[in-house]
Amino acid sequence: AILRELAQETGRPLDTPVIARPAPLPDELELLGRTKKRVYKQFTAALRAGRHPRLAVSGKAGVGKTVLLSYLATSLQAAGQTVCWLNLVGDALSALPTVPARGSSFAALAAQQHEAMQKAMPASGVLLLRIPADLNFGGQPPRLLSGTPVSPAAWAYSVVQAAPRELAVLLALEDPAGWPEDGPELIRLRPPTPSEARAYLMQKLGVTREAASDLLRETGQNLDRLTLLTGTGSSASQLLTDPGVYTLALALSVLLRPGMPPASYSPDVWQAALGHPLQDLPVHVRSQLIADGARWRPSPALIQAALQLPAAKRQVALEQLAQRGRRGGGWPDDAKAFWFAALTELGDWSGLERFLVRSPADSRFLPDLWPAIRASAPATAREQLARAVVDHYAGRGEYHDSRARDALFSLLESERPGVQVWGRVKLAESSVDAGNFEAARQQLGRPEVQQVLRDTLTDPWTLAARSDALLVQAALARWQGHIQAATAAVNDPHTAQSGARALLWRGLIAKDSGNWSEALRSLAAVSEQSPLLSARARYQEGDLRLRLGQPGEALRALLDAASRLELAGGTHEELARILARAATAERRLGYPARGMRLMDRALGLLPAHSSRGDGVLRARLLSESLPILLAVGQPDQALRQATRALELLRQPGPRRAEAEYRTRRTHYRVALAYLTRGRGLPYLHPFSGAVQDNSDLAYARELLDLLLQQAPEASDREQVLTFDMYLSRALVEPQPRLALDFVRRALDMTDHPYAETQARTILAEAHLRDAQTGVALSEINRAHTLLRRVQVGLGGTYTAEPGLAAQLLALEARATAEDGLKMLEWLRDALQDPLMAPFRGGIWREAGQALEDSRADAVQIVETFTGTQSHWPLRPTDSLIVLGSEAEQEGCTSGSRID
């Protein structure tokens, strides 16, 4: 009853809703100033009493105006109040509802300002309004309705006067000049004292007094910066009131890409977007970035702030980023990618084209931008950039990628004949890459393509099309074994348009035709300015040096190729091929265990089910791993690996010709597995031929005979495979006279010193088994001479294959075993060469076996040679193997037998 009576006296109904008590006073106000506490309590108390207070605070930047408004908004919203918070920093029109302009007179401009503000104000609740000292409306000063320009404070006072009666208002002014004395109460805020700020940092960050003092020296007694530093000023609106954070948010806005989630960015990317290093940012600004390893991730509030920025501001930031990229080259790839994105968004197509002419390798940044390019670029620019996209994927051998296909077909849709023909040639090139040679021939055979090959043309598109068409012709001829036609195509002067690609193909064709010096010259001429092509050139050089019996040089070239390919962003498939060849080089240097590690890495790069759907590349690697498994004494595992390879090759997809060759080569390696198991020795030099027969050797002969019944194709690799099969057929043949016949067939096929050295080494081994020691020694001497030619061939001095030298030493020891102690002594001297370390056990095995077979006093000779009887009761052969194995070697011990 008393309450009702009081209510009647005051003219207010008793059922007025009671506003819930706000949350406890925030630490930022509790710790940092009595004045802000007073304003907070005064304003909230008036609201709880049901009044509609009008209050103004003023103070320079950093005294805590934004902090005060932020916590008031949070507290009042939690209490159920409707709060409208307007921050008029920058162009005030961008923060207010849009209203139509009514003319350019001062009165019209003033009317626009006031109408926009009226539309922004709610009819009731609370309005929190921040007015900067440089308040402007589209560059115009604030004006009264009469059109008279006034100070921001005077304009704000007019807003308060026009506010609805049921609306509570709190103004935050940077400059109070012009605020009338009879206006609402104006309370001046002051920054926190040093002791207040230090205590705040110590409590919020848990740091020592000294650390808090250091931070305070950098931030100053600026409450806005302090709250940002401690992570409590987390709203996007509050962040944008700080100039430094505004700049950071603007930089972030150019990094955020439509349809892509925010990410962490390297310091180089941030520097590109900002125009200066991250370290130059104040500590309270850097606090908005979260460390993510060596990169920096924007805080969620910073992301929201960046998304709130006006489109016009972001446009200016994009143009600044683009301009910085034009001025300074040499940006790291991740920063350059954002520069390309900025040029695309700005529609600077000529800028993109000019840069790509100077740096074609940077076309790798275009694929992600292709959808935007296709949608926005004019026809001529779109075609040039589509060509760059296609070239990028063609260089990587990824013609099947959806963006590559889309760019290619956009060229085929062109109204310009030259553009269409270029696209047609690239389509043929993609068919060659897929092993679909018939489709490639059909594409090249189209009348418009043949016209290009016949006519004298000057259009850049048709010149490029003719050059690439000649290279496709060379590729087709090469796969068919028509080396002369392939050579003529790559040496056509018109291929100069293809630059480094033409040089690479010249090297490939020269390599296949046996013109080794020309091959190495062309491959070496491939510029490092084309990173992927230079990596391929080094790979081809390594492959060639393997063929020429220089595995040490080959390994260096192959590992360099792998390194270059990784730096150039090459595909996993291509890297796997390079590592597989490097694994073979390690095996031929005598280190198969190291080779197995490389091969495992190569296989790990390819999924069990190839993304290309044919599995031929994985099958190739599985097949190439067989000799390495045999070298470490695992023939059974090699047979299991061969089964997996052949299963993949039964489903070749479009790579039918490649699969047929790989199937033949895998069948040959299966025969090697049976040879290895039949001999009971690891497949590592020295490796002697069969003396006694068994079922494994018989089956190996059967497999090899089936393969050799097929007439070899004219292609270089089929000739090499046939050569290898003849030599292996000699080793698996227990009858030395028959073995000699197979070696002589191989000898007739030799075309360089290393191949002849291989053949004459096996020829000498067969003569030894046939008890023709003198003839064998003659062949051994000829092989030694040839091996020296391998070492000094091709205009330099190289390491000839140490395994072949080990085989010759073992054969010479067998041929001179009658010399007993003398043979062992010269052999020991020869084995001091460090390159012989992996082969010593095998050489001693062969020498010991020959000694036991030829000398009845073998035990005494070995005891004299070793100067000890410590190896008794071992056989002389095993005593020598123990001696040879004392030198630590990696991989299998070539002297051990397969258990």
Q: Using the predicted structure, report yes or no on whether residue 126 has a pLDDT greater than 70.
A: yes
Say if residue 32's pLDDT is above 90.
no
Whether the predicted pLDDT of 690 surpasses 90: yes
For 619-661, the pLDDT digits (tens) are 999 999 999 999 999 999 999 999 999 999 998 777 788 889 9
Residue, of 854 and 211, whose pLDDT is higher: 854
- Antiparallel, parallel or unpaired: β 54-58 and 167-173: parallel
pLDDT band at 180 (very low <50, low <70, confident <90, very high): very high
pLDDT at 704 over 90: yes
Span 678-697, average pLDDT: 95
Q: What is the pLDDT of residue 3?
A: 81
pLDDT of 692 above 70? yes
The yes-or-no verdict on residue 568 having pLDDT over 50 is: yes
Query: Residue 612 pLDDT > 60, yes or no?
Result: no
* Averaged pLDDT for residues 853-880: 84
Report d(CA 7, CA 25) in Å as an integer: 30
pTM score, two decimals?
A: 0.72
Most confident of 10-24, 388-402, 785-799: 388-402
Assign 129 a pLDDT band (cuts: 50, 70, 90).
Answer: very high
**Alpha carbon separation from 114 to 93, 110, 120, 144 (Å, rounded):** 11, 6, 10, 8
| CA pair distance 880, 893, nearest whole angstrom | 13
Encode pLDDT of 74-108 as tens digits: 888 888 889 998 888 778 888 899 888 878 899 99
Residue 173 has pLDDT above 50, yes or no: yes
- Give me the pLDDT at residue 610, please: 47
Work out the average pLDDT over 199-207: 71
Dump pLDDT digits (tens) for 145-163: 999 999 999 999 999 999 9
Residue 755 clears pLDDT 90, i.e. is over it: yes
Question: In the predicted model, what is the mean pLDDT of residues 172-178?
Answer: 92
Distance in angstroms (rounded) separating the CA atoms of residues 240 and 132: 13
Secondary structure letter of residue 591 according to DSSP: -
Residue-level pLDDT at 697: 97
pLDDT greater at residue 360 or residue 379: 379
What is the structure's pLDDT at 847? 95
Residue 890 has pLDDT above 60, yes or no: no
pLDDT of residue 644: 96
The model's pLDDT over 464-484, given as tens digits with 9 standing for 90+, comes to 999 999 999 998 988 887 889
Q: Which residue has the higher pLDDT, 398 or 645?
A: 645
pLDDT band at 231 (very low <50, low <70, confident <90, very high): low
Give yes or no for residue 366 having a pLDDT over 80.
Answer: yes
CA 305/CA 655 separation, integer angstroms: 53
User: Per-residue confidence at 899, pLDDT binned at 50, 70, 90?
Assistant: very low
User: Regarding predicted confidence, which is higher, 819 or 658?
Assistant: 819
Percent of the chain whose pLDDT exceeds 90: 51
Q: Which of 598-627 are b and which e, b meaning 16 or more Cβ less than 10 Å from the residue's Cβ?
A: bbebbbebbeeebebebbbbbbbbbbbbbb
Residue type, position 49, single letter: A
Helix axes 656-679, 635-649, angle to 10 degrees: 170
pLDDT, tens digit, 9 for 90 and up, residues 274-313: 988 988 888 878 878 888 888 998 888 888 888 888 888 8
The model's confidence at residue 448, banded by pLDDT at 50, 70 and 90, is confident
Strands 295-298 and 54-58: unpaired
For residue 8, what pLDDT is reported?
A: 77
Average pLDDT across the chain, whole number = 87
Of 348-357, 432-441, 678-687, 834-843, give the lowest mean pLDDT range. Answer: 432-441
Three-class DSSP category at 880 = helix
**Secondary structure (3-state) at 835:** helix
* Amino acid of residue 718: E
Q: In sequence order, what DSSP letters do the residues of 103-162 get, joined into one string?
A: -SSHHHHHHHHHHHHHHHS-SSEEEEEEE-TT-BBTTBPPB-TTS-B--HHHHHHHHHHH
Residue 435 has pLDDT above 80, yes or no: no
Check pLDDT > 80 for residue 893.
no
Alpha helices in 732-791 (DSSP H): 736-748, 753-769, 773-791
Q: How many helices (H) and strands (E) does the chain have?
A: 45, 7
Token duo for residue 773: 């020691």
Most confident of 257-266, 289-298, 878-887: 289-298
- Residue 872's pLDDT is 65
Q: What DSSP state is assigned to residue 625? A: T
Question: pLDDT tens digits for 493-514?
Answer: 989 888 889 999 999 999 988 8
User: How many of the other CB atoms lie within 10 Å of CB of 806?
Assistant: 27
- Please list the residues that pair with 188 across neighbouring strands: 58
Q: Distance between CA atoms of 735 and 588, rounded to whole angstroms?
A: 28
Separation CA 882–CA 840 (nearest Å):
10
The CA distance from 855 to 209, in Å, is 91
**CB proximity list for 268: less than 8 A, separation 6 or greater:** 331, 332, 334, 335
